[in-house]
Amino acid sequence: MLKLGVNIDHVATLREARYRGRGFGEPNPIEAARICEAAGAHGITAHLREDRRHIQDRDAWKLREVVKTRLNLEMAIVPEIIAIALKLKPDIVCIVPERRLEVTTEGGLDVVANEKAIAGTRKKMNDADIEVSLFIAPDAEQIEAAARTGSQFIELHTGAFAEAFGDIRKRDVELQRLISGAEQAHALGLKVNAGHGLNYTNLPTLCRVPHLVELNIGHSIVSRAVMVGLKTAVKEMLRLMENYRN
């Protein structure tokens, strides 16, 4: 069964637009997490950024208290966030690149150039019984390096596929890259997740990618929730995933 992890960062983004720095406000990402789980989501994803632009420390600690499925903490390899993750003990961390000027995480992690640091962080997390995923492009060298770090998962960056979706030729090229990347990762013993830019339109095509364990989707679900409510938005996405055959 293909699992759905709902990224609630954009709920916090909306709150921070009005209540930044005030320690309270709406909408509440914790309540959003509860609704997503009740609707059938298999996990909750949140990114604790260095600049705290959306998810705040208090959100992370409260999520650890209330999430009953699987808490996935997205994080950069920086000492402050590593220390928080080791105390917080999410079920899994997804190591991502982080750039202050981007709106959201736009590129994959360069594992090749940072293999030693990533492997060291992976060991710290695993020693604390936290699984590790690496957010990477479907590139053969990056996947090989990810396997060498000892990480349990990779999360294939589907942004290029999503951007190319309107152009059939480009879409098929990006889809084949994802298929090849998933097959390579599976052969190397890595579990495969995917995320970035996935929505209700492109997801059925993405389901041609084999060996997927979980999709992490945020913006599309939160956007749809404005129109139909969060519970319905999650259920609609889950229905699109029902026919996935690995």
Q: Which residues are catalytic?
A: 47, 74, 196
10 Å Cβ neighbour count for 26?
11
What CA–CA distance (Å, rounded) separates 21 from 16?
8
For residue 240 the two structure tokens come to 């699109």
Q: What angle do CA 90, 8, 143 make, to 5 degrees?
A: 60
What CA–CA distance (Å, rounded) separates 166 from 104?
21
What CA–CA distance (Å, rounded) separates 140 from 238?
30
Q: What angle do CA 190, 195, 200 make, to 5 degrees?
A: 135
**Look-up: residue for tokens 């596929």?**
161
For residue 166 the two structure tokens come to 């309107």
Quick one: which of 48, 195, 222 has its CA closest to 109? 195
- Dihedral pair phi/psi, residue 82, rounded to 5°: -60, -45
What CA–CA distance (Å, rounded) separates 191 from 9?
24
**Look-up: residue for tokens 């890595």?**
190
